[in-house]
Amino acid sequence: MKIRHSAILAAAVGLLILVVPIFAHHGTAAYETTQETTVKGTVTEFQFINPHTLIFLDVKNDKGDVEHWQVDAQSPNQLTRDGWNKNSLKPGDHIAVTGFRAKNHSNILRFVKVIWPNGQEIKAAPVF
């Protein structure tokens, strides 16, 4: 009987160890959500894939140097409901992206919206 309880306890702990990172992954703790940041640049790659769509940009900083940025967006399923598809962005597109910057100040944004040069905006529904 004691062995059975130990096995159940071990299985429960093992399950928790596997499940907790899944919830942490979808949190926004890594992003500064009190202030939006906007970067303007050229799309170098658009990955309309699970679990999160990714937009890669080349952005010129104030010194004229090119910085490589990654924009983490929602899942393709969520973006499809917001009017997106795999052809929404193409390499060479010039866009501005607004989002929440990573707290460690790396060149990573959590996506809020894209703005084309003509002013058209495409927003995504918030997931937080």
Q: What is the pLDDT of residues 13-61, one digit of tens each?
A: 554 454 444 444 556 778 888 999 999 999 999 999 999 999 999 999 9
Q: Does 12 score more than 60 pLDDT?
A: no
The answer to whether the Cα torsion of 56, 106, 119, 49 is positive or negative is positive
Cis peptide before 51 (omega within 30 of 0): yes
Q: Cα separation of 37 and 39, whole Å?
A: 7
Structure confidence at residue 37 (pLDDT): 95
Hey, what domains does the chain have and what are their CATH numbers?
Answer: 31-123 (2.40.50.140)
Question: Nearest Cα to 113, choosing from 92, 91, 95, 90?
Answer: 95
Structure confidence at residue 22 (pLDDT): 45
Question: Nearest Cα to 50, choosing from 26, 24, 30?
Answer: 26
Amino acid letter, 81: R
Q: Cα separation of 81 and 47, whole Å?
A: 17
Q: Cα separation of 74 and 79, whole Å?
A: 6
The answer to whether the Cα torsion of 93, 96, 98, 103 is positive or negative is positive
pTM of the predicted model, to two decimals?
A: 0.75
The answer to whether the Cα torsion of 63, 67, 73, 77 is positive or negative is positive
